[in-house]
Structure formats: structure tokens, C-alpha cells
Amino acid sequence: MELKARVAELLETAEQEAAGSAVRREDFVHAQSAAFKRRVDASLDVIRRASEVGAVGVSFSGGKDSTVCVALVRDVLSIAPIAFFDSGAELSETYEMVRHVGALTIAPRLTMLDMARYAGWWGYARPVDSDCQFDAKRVLIDEPSETFVVRERLRVITHGVRAQESHARAMHTGSRGELYRGRDGTWYCMPLARWSLADVWAYIATRGLRYHRAYDLLSESGVPREGQRVSGALGERGSGWGRHGQLRLVDPDVWRRLVVEFPQIGLTS
């Protein structure tokens, strides 16, 4: 079915969708804009250029941006390995999304729970060394990414990073672009770098992509789109405020299990 016909069909049934769904009628309208279509074409083009460098893999978190990233890569490449870096403290639905896209799960040498217990984050009662400083990004993202590259013999890793999300990401995109070679020799592809939040939801809506159910729950609870986050259930000391407030809404079972060991999480909910 042509995209135009698909959009018309979805628009016709949009009013019948359940209240509180993360997908909105405006997403189908936005998908008809020339700017959106240009961004999609540009993203497919950068993925094609990445494939000319060598084997391409996709880093998948379970969130909306990486969900779109996987779909875009699959539009260009029939085979591309997908990897999920498991922090050890994830939302239940995240694991369902990992299975849905067929991602390989790579476990870090230390989980977020290991680090939190060792250093006594979030009120853990029996820390080994409360002054210990962990580089969580290195342990949970950088090292598993290196494992992914070696295991799958990749030249390029694709991420669903958007410049709109933060000043630092905007600066990074401005200086590096959507496809660049890192200091480690691996190439990095960011096909969504120039996308807006509206673009992401327009793509999900018009392509009928399955997305993380947390977005529906957050929408039903009145959390604005700009504030909706799907990430690991446990943050570093000082980095979980906001994350833990949403955790109780979207995955109360995980929230309850974590509060038993990390009581300060309850203060952020």
C-alpha cells in the first residue's frame, strides 16, 4: 500500500483510537509536510553512505528514537545486527521491545545494580565503598559497544541520537555531522540527528511501528511528550531525578523491587 493511502486510512481511524495513546492525529498530518519527507530521505541517504564504509550495526535502547532508527536501517539494509546493552535495571516492556526487534543482548562487566550496591547509591544500606566513583557510561555503553563491534565485525554503529535533545548533542552534531569516524576507528552514524520530536512520532504513526508501551502510560498520565523518557530504571547517584518519578507510573513492579534496596528512589516518585 502506498504511503499516501496508508496515511489516509490511519487518519480515518485515528479518532477511534483509545484516549491517552501516545500517537496523535497531528502525527499523521505532520507526516505530509515537505520538511518531514526531506528528513526521511536525508536519513536514508546517510545510512546508504554508512553502508559504503562497511558492515553496519544498530544500538537499540527500546525507546522511540532507537525504534525509528532500526526501522530506517532496515529500509536500507536487509541484514543489520541490532544490539541492546542491558544495564541490569530495565523496564519490563523494554525487554519485550528487544525481543520484538530481534536485538542481541550484551551484558556489561558490571550492571547498574552492581555499581549502585557497591557505592551505596540511592540509600543502599550496605555499600562496600561509598566514595567509589564509577564511569557508568563507560561500563554500560562504551564497553558493550566495543564488544558489539568486535563480535559482529562492524565498521559502523548507528544510534538514534537527536540534536534537539540537548545542547551538548546539538554541539556534537554541528561539529561532527551525521556520519563520522571516532577516535577508536569505528564510524558512527546518526540518521536522526536533525529530526524533531514531531518527526519521530510522525514516522512511528505512519509506518505503524510498535513502540514502548510506557509512552502510552505517560501520555495517559498527562506527562508532556517533551518530558517522556524511556531509559534504564535506575540512574547513577544524582542522575535519577525525573527518571524515578516516571518509573512508578510506567512499571510499578520494578519500582517496588528497587525501592526495597534503594529507598531514596521513593523520594523522587
Summarised one tens digit per residue, pLDDT across range 238-268 is 666 567 888 988 999 999 999 999 999 888 6
Give mean pLDDT, residues 69-98: 96
CA distance 173 to 200: 18
Convert 129-140 to b/e letters by CB count within 10 Å (16 or more is b): eeeeebebeebb
Phi, then psi, of 208 in degrees rounded to 5: 60, 35
For residue 135, give the amino acid letter.
D
**Residues sharing a CB contact under 8 Å with residue 42, sequence separation 6 or more, in sequence order:** 194
Contacts of 237 (CB under 8 A, 6+ apart): 116, 119, 121, 122
The reported pTM is 0.89
Q: Where are the domains of the chain?
A: 3-268
What is the Cα–Cα distance from 165 to 162, expressed in whole angstroms? 6
What lies within 8 Å, CB to CB, of 60 at 6+ separation is 66, 67, 69, 70, 82, 83, 84, 97, 98, 101, 103
Name the amino acid, one letter, at 103: A
Provide, for the chain, the percentages of residues in helix, strand and coil under a 3-state DSSP scheme, each rounded to the nearest 5.
55, 5, 40
pLDDT at 7 > cutoff 60: no
Q: Kindly tell me if the per-residue pLDDT of 19 is higher than 70.
A: no
Identify the residue with better confidence: 172 or 30.
Answer: 30
Picking from 269, 262, 244, 268, the residue whose alpha carbon sits closest to that of residue 124 is 262
Ranges of H-type helices in 77-166: 92-101, 112-119, 136-137, 143-152
For residue 229, how many C-alpha atoms fall within 13 Å in the half-sphere facing its CB?
Answer: 17
State pLDDT tens for residues 106-135.
Answer: 999 999 999 999 999 999 999 999 999 999
Q: Taking all residues of the chain, what is their mean pLDDT, rounded to a whole number?
A: 90
Q: Which superfamily does CATH assign the domain made up of 3-268 to?
A: HUPs (3.40.50.620)
Q: Which of 13-17, 101-105, 161-165, 181-185 has the highest mean pLDDT?
A: 101-105
Q: How confident is the model at residue 78 (pLDDT cuts 50, 70, 90)?
A: confident
